[in-house]
Structure 1
Amino acid sequence: MLSVLLATIALIGCAELSPSDPDAQKQSTALQQQQDAQAVQAATQATGRRVWFAGFAMNSTSTAFENDMELVSRRLSELGGPVLKYEDSDGRQTDKLRFPFATPATLAEAVQQISSHAGPDDIVVVFISTHGNRKILSVNVAHQEFKPMTATQLSAALAPLGNRPTIVILAACFSGSFLPELQGERRIVITSASGERASFGCQPDSRNTFFTEELFAENFDSSKSLSQMMAEAKVRVARREHALKFRNSEPQMSVGRKLRWLAERPLKDWFQAGKETTDVPPVAPLSLLGDAGKTAYHAYQSKPFPRAFVISSGGAGQYAVGTTPHDASLPSDPAARALALCNRRGLADCRLYAVDDRVVWTGY
């Protein structure tokens, strides 16, 4: 009886804090207000461009999510310029909160605060790590599932940022499904998977998710640009997945037309004034294709008319043939259908490349 009683007391003492607990919620609110006050004070003391970081580890079922958030936060701090931080986590917290709870409400509030303080040329980085499914991000606190965050909700939460240069990074399964709602001219969106693929590395005791680790851990080099980092990370992720016999997660990167300069600038130069123009060299579209995309294009060339081929900036190819789709909900026109299929897969920046044997590419 004594041993049972002691075990029960130990469990009670180690109970995880949750937003359902009024005292814990008060702690969370106070921490969030403290973060805002610290960010505003630091912003007033900074000169030139600033980076605002809003990081959210939205799930308590793996150590990887909080570790991801802290890793990205640490890397940004190493860039040498003013970084103003909002860090929220649903990682295991007992007795006293270390971070505010990471929920759709706290995300929306943090973004609203940033929009109130950030200048038009400041850079905003929003990072979310959690479990995911198509169009939803899991919110799990103290091993209790709360209502998930949808793509529509996240889009609305980010809306106050307006035209500020914004980078959104989603480390979650099926996160590419968020691309249609999140893409914009002054936004870069990076996802750990396409819209129809899982991503990996989120076991209960994982150090980091595969994607975040390959993008920001040992191979991190601030002299490289986001575009370079992403291209190299995709290769490393694919190798790890292949070695484990996992299906490739197909990480995606969508770059808005007016943020090409930021995607191509070394991270260590983010705080420096430079040529920030939409005038960028045209992209040779077929050079974007990865191995699977090249295979798809080779197959497309042997298909009968009518047909259409679409390319995504992530290197994938998608084609449609004929006017009678197997799925009656899809358009009969092959060009419209190829675009719809590309978007359904959650691929970045789907653009029409060819119709029949005519190249109709308009560029990025």
Structure 2
Amino acid sequence: MHSESNAFRGDVLLAEKVMRGIDPQAVVFKLSNPAFGQEADLPFATRENVAAVLQAIGAQARPQDKVVVLLTTHGHVNLLEVYAANTRLGVVGPAELREWLAPLRGQPTLLMVSACYSGSFLPTLRGPSRIVLTAAADDRPSFGCQFHSRNTFFIEELLGQPGLAAQSLSDWVPQAYRAIEQRELALKLAPSQPQAFFGADVQAWARQPIAQWLN
């Protein structure tokens, strides 16, 4: 899902490219609220559509499947913004998102939340079968969401690494977080301090090279 910005749309397309590289037959759901000048070529990332997609994934996922969910938008403490055509269509809070993710309970799930203050969602979204990565701590903004940005810093460093398929999440995430810190330091930005949680039931998955996720 993305909510109105070239950077957010870029995040969604980069994530799709990575998933297709792992599995060309991967089932990919994309929702996007177009920024100014973009075509409305994807279903809108409304609250209702996000909930419906997560429910559909939960219904279709097989026990051996891995689920990857990306939410990229503007955020504040304990909320994610939903925008389209410069109109605020509401917000999503941690408890509501937890409810929407309930159909995936027990399914190995990687959840990436790219938004300012997204660490405020982490306590509510933790679960034994879940890996949760957030772009910032609960009291910090994240960067790269300007209208003309290609991607947010968080997703670009997470998913744009060379040789990604040969790495495990346990290796990949700390490397990406160090790269984000160095990038912010070079630009004299306050550290966003991205957060990570690895559930007890997905520790083996976290150590598995990405290219072997389907084995």
Which residue identity lines up with residue 183 of structure 1 in the other structure? Answer: R
Partner of 2:180: 237
Q: Is contact 1:65–1:208 with CA below 8 Å preserved after alignment?
A: yes
Partner of 1:57: 2
Which residue identity lines up with residue 138 of structure 2 in the other structure? Answer: G
Partner of 2:150: 207
After superposition, give the CA deviation of every residue in 1:239-291 in whole Å (9 maximum; x if it has no partner): 1111111111111110000000111111100000xxxxxxxxxxxxxxxxxxx
Partner of 2:79: 136
**Alpha-carbon distance between aligned partners in 2 of 1:168 and 1:207, rounded to the nearest angstrom:** 21
After superposition, give the CA deviation of every residue in 1:167-193 in whole Å (9 maximum; x if it has no partner): 110011111110111000001101111
Partner of 1:92: 35
**Alpha-carbon distance between aligned partners in 2 of 1:226 and 1:158, rounded to the nearest angstrom:** 21
Partner of 2:68: 125
Structure 1 residue 204: Cα displacement? 1.2
Structure 1 residues 263 and 170: alpha-carbon distance in aligned structure 2, compared to 1, 3 A threshold:
same
Partner of 1:35: none
Partner of 1:219: 162
Partner of 1:197: 140
Q: Is contact 2:165–2:210 with CA below 8 Å preserved after alignment?
A: yes
Indicate the SS of the match to 2:144. coil
Partner of 1:71: 14
Q: Is contact 1:65–1:91 with CA below 8 Å preserved after alignment?
A: no
Indicate the SS of the match to 1:127. strand
Q: Is contact 1:166–1:187 with CA below 8 Å preserved after alignment?
A: yes
Q: Is contact 2:114–2:152 with CA below 8 Å preserved after alignment?
A: yes
Indicate the SS of the match to 2:27. strand
**Alpha-carbon distance between aligned partners in 1 of 2:31 and 2:60, rounded to the nearest angstrom:** 19
1:182 pairs, out of 108, 111, 125, with 125
Structure 1 residue 95: Cα displacement? 9.6
After superposition, give the CA deviation of every residue in 1:147-186 in whole Å (9 maximum; x if it has no partner): 1111111100000112111111001111111011100000
**Alpha-carbon distance between aligned partners in 1 of 2:163 and 2:173, rounded to the nearest angstrom:** 11
**Alpha-carbon distance between aligned partners in 1 of 2:24 and 2:127, rounded to the nearest angstrom:** 26
Which residue identity lines up with residue 232 of structure 1 in the other structure? Answer: Q
Q: Is contact 1:115–1:161 with CA below 8 Å preserved after alignment?
A: yes
Q: Is contact 1:127–1:168 with CA below 8 Å preserved after alignment?
A: yes
Matched, 1:104 2:57: no
TM-score (norm 1): 0.57
Structure 1 residue 218: Cα displacement? 4.5
**What is the root-mean-square deviation of aligned Cα atoms in Å?**
1.5
**Alpha-carbon distance between aligned partners in 2 of 1:228 and 1:95, rounded to the nearest angstrom:** 36
Structure 1: tracts of 5 or more residues without a match:
1-55, 273-364
Indicate the SS of the match to 2:30. strand
After superposition, give the CA deviation of every residue in 1:103-124 in whole Å (9 maximum; x if it has no partner): 2211110111111111122111
Partner of 1:39: none
1:113 pairs, out of 47, 53, 56, with 56
Structure 2: tracts of 5 or more residues without a match:
none
Aligned residue pairs, count: 215
Q: Is contact 2:34–2:40 with CA below 8 Å preserved after alignment?
A: no
Report % sequence identity. 36
Pairwise mapping of residues 1-364 of structure 1 onto structure 2 (< 5 A)?
56-58=1-3, 60=4, 62-80=5-23, 82-92=25-35, 97-219=40-162, 221-272=164-215
**Alpha-carbon distance between aligned partners in 2 of 1:66 and 1:95, rounded to the nearest angstrom:** 10
Structure 1 residue 208: Cα displacement? 0.5
Q: Is contact 1:81–1:271 with CA below 8 Å preserved after alignment?
A: no
TM-score (norm 2): 0.95
